[in-house]
Structure 1
């Protein structure tokens, strides 16, 4: 497990309190089950697709992304953030406000996304208006009740200070 924290820039707020978490190979045995495992652990309102090729973030919900097939290079935290390579079986948990975009991917890249408690989510972009609106929203997002990969006892809960 790796964690990444990102500073805000003038267009992307990121999250001032919570780090992004990467579980490398969490679903290596059966990456196609990512969406079902997220749902079983209380992360719902799920979808299967890809990742936008532009910086975006969700200011009103945390998000989990599970790579079901293929691989990709993602940029987290904006241009000054970090490039992360992900492949089938990897899981990325992004706290509300964390910018992300796809840089490159294989043709078979598919990812499952979900949100704690099935929260509705917005999609904000790197604009001054979105940045201003997001600043008041991010701090109001409730912490999840469970880790999307490991359930009620997962390491995300400790990293995010839910079960210290």
Structure 2
């Protein structure tokens, strides 16, 4: 999301009740990751080395009096995924060539197309998290009216938004240079993302 959306979210954080690290541990559930790799389809480059990772029901929402978005936001921040925003997902295919992105569903449900038109449609609902490595095409297909996500990025990398197919060749060069994050956005340093992105093992989507 653009800088203005991130600034708006910073202001929100000052006035909301946010859980501390102890509370976040209780609100996080151990989940087996679903890892899916998307190949370059000639339009969207996707990521040649790193799979997208889905954690279903990883975060307990609407518990202990905390707002679900505040919980997800605080958890991502604790694990080094910052510059957060809260909104829906764009309904056109786009990707980020210079940074990874994580999306945590705080409310409602939706179908997201990941990997471009030749990729895969994933159903996500409140409490689910998806980590998208740089280059992964994504767009909203349909959603409930109350659908909202918290998005965030690792501390390293530069936000960009690519929609033009003519940028694909140069984008692939940028994607190859994006550094891996130090921590899993949900489970921290020892989380599955570190292992899956370290070894880049997944099944084809």
CA deviation string 1:30-63 (max 9, x = no partner) = 5431111101110001111111001100000010
| Residue in structure 2 matching 1:149, options 170, 177, 186 | 186
Residue 140 of structure 1: aligned partner: 177
Q: Larger helix proportion, structure 1 or 2?
A: 2
What displacement does 1:105 show? 0.5
* Structure-2-length-normalised TM-score: 0.76
Normalized per residue, the structure richer in strand is 1
Structure 1 unaligned segments of length 5 or more: list them: none
Within 2, Cα distance between the matches of 1:4 and 1:78?
A: 13
**Which residue is 1:61 aligned to?**
99
Moved over 4 A (4+): none
In the superposition, the TM-score normalised over structure 1's length comes to 0.94
Aligned-residue CA RMSD in angstroms? 1.2
Structure 2 unmatched runs, 5+:
1-32, 63-67, 200-205
Q: How many residues align?
A: 161
How big is the shift at 1:118?
6.0
- 1:6 pairs with 2:38: yes
Q: Structure 2 matches for 1:8-157, cutoff 5 A?
A: 8-30=40-62, 31-32=68-69, 33-117=71-155, 119-125=157-163, 127-157=164-194
Rg: which structure is higher?
2
Q: Which has the higher contact order (CA 8 A, sep 6+)?
A: 1
Within 2, Cα distance between the matches of 1:50 and 1:77?
Answer: 18
